[in-house]
């Protein structure tokens, strides 16, 4: 298969079908824009499974997404989309970069969920941008921003309810969208690499912060998430 793209945690391959790609989930973990790197054994397998289950669930709830099927431990067949170079971040509770940026204490529950946009650009470390930047730089149109914001808000409501059913608090997460014909659909992955997930009772972190903050038990935390989903 022809490798189309290699990112920090995934590879994308072309297939014989021009409308489909294969996403391969690696064990590589990176943080702080690639400054911290490690291999987390079997992370790719867990993220492929977790993402697949979440994409299936979102599809059932009416959220169009690129997932077709999981075809092996580390591979997912997806619809070919043109990725929009934006990271759409939704925050319910303060953690991570917003705490550093605004001096807020981790754990503060926001009165209203926050949607942020970052421009996907490794060289410039995915800088935060606003809707005016997106329109001015012709990344997408004003209407398309609205479509994405509506999607992000709806996905947040669905995911919050889904995770609370697993006794997990959805702190924040990152989404990526792609153009599929005339439509905009959800793409990339939804996993403990791209979400902050806290156990509701113990507030223990069940996500990539275990790697970022050297808390240990990274893979055990990801396994916890998968086990609760599969129950």
Q: Which stretch binds ligand C5P (CB under 6 A): 47-55, 131-139, 143-151, 193-201?
A: 193-201
89 binds ligand C5P per the rule CB under 6 A: yes
The number of residues that bind ligand C5P (CB under 6 A) is: 13
53 binds ligand C5P per the rule CB under 6 A: no
- Asked if residues 94 and 105 have their Cβ atoms less than 8 Å apart, the reply is yes
For residue 73, how many other CB atoms are within 10 A of its CB?
12
Q: Which stretch binds ligand C5P (CB under 6 A): 18-26, 77-85, 102-110, 172-180?
A: 172-180
Q: Which stretch binds ligand C5P (CB under 6 A): 14-22, 67-75, 137-145, 191-199?
A: 191-199
Spatial distance between the Cα atoms of 82 and 71, rounded to a whole number of angstroms = 22
Angle subtended at Cα 158 by Cα 211 and Cα 196, rounded to the nearest 5 degrees: 15
Please name the residue that has the structure tokens 């990152």: 174
126 binds ligand C5P per the rule CB under 6 A: yes
The correct pick among 152, 194, 205, 224 for binding ligand C5P (CB under 6 A) is 194
1 Cβ partners below 8 Å, 6+ apart? Answer: 13, 14, 15, 22
- Asked if residues 29 and 9 have their Cβ atoms less than 8 Å apart, the reply is yes
96 binds ligand C5P per the rule CB under 6 A: yes
Site residues (CB under 6 A) for ligand C5P? 87, 89, 96-98, 126, 172-174, 194-196, 208
């Amino acid at each position: 298969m022809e490798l189309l793209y290699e990112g920090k945690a995934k590879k994308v391959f072309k297939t014989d079908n021009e409308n489909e790609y294969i996403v391969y989930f690696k064990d590589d973990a990176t943080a702080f824009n690639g400054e911290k790197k490690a291999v987390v054994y079997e992370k790719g397998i867990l993220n492929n499974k977790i993402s697949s289950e979440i994409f299936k669930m979102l599809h059932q709830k009416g959220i169009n997404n690129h997932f077709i099927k999981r075809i092996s431990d580390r591979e997912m067949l997806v619809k070919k989309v043109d990725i929009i170079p934006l990271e759409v971040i939704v925050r319910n509770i303060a953690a991570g970069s917003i705490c550093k940026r605004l001096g807020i204490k981790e754990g503060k529950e926001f009165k209203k969920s926050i949607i942020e946009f970052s421009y996907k650009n490794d060289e410039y470390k995915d800088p935060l941008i606003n809707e005016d930047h997106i329109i001015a730089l012709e990344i997408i149109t004003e209407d398309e921003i609205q479509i994405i914001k509506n999607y992000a808000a709806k996905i947040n409501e669905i995911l919050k309810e889904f995770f609370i059913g697993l006794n997990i608090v959805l702190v924040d997460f990152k989404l990526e969208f792609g153009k599929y014909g005339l439509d905009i659909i959800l793409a990339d992955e939804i996993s403990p690499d791209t979400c902050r997930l806290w156990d509701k009772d113990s507030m223990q972190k069940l996500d990539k912060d275990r790697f970022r903050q050297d808390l240990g038990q990274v893979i055990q935390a990801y396994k916890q998430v998968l086990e609760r989903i599969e129950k």
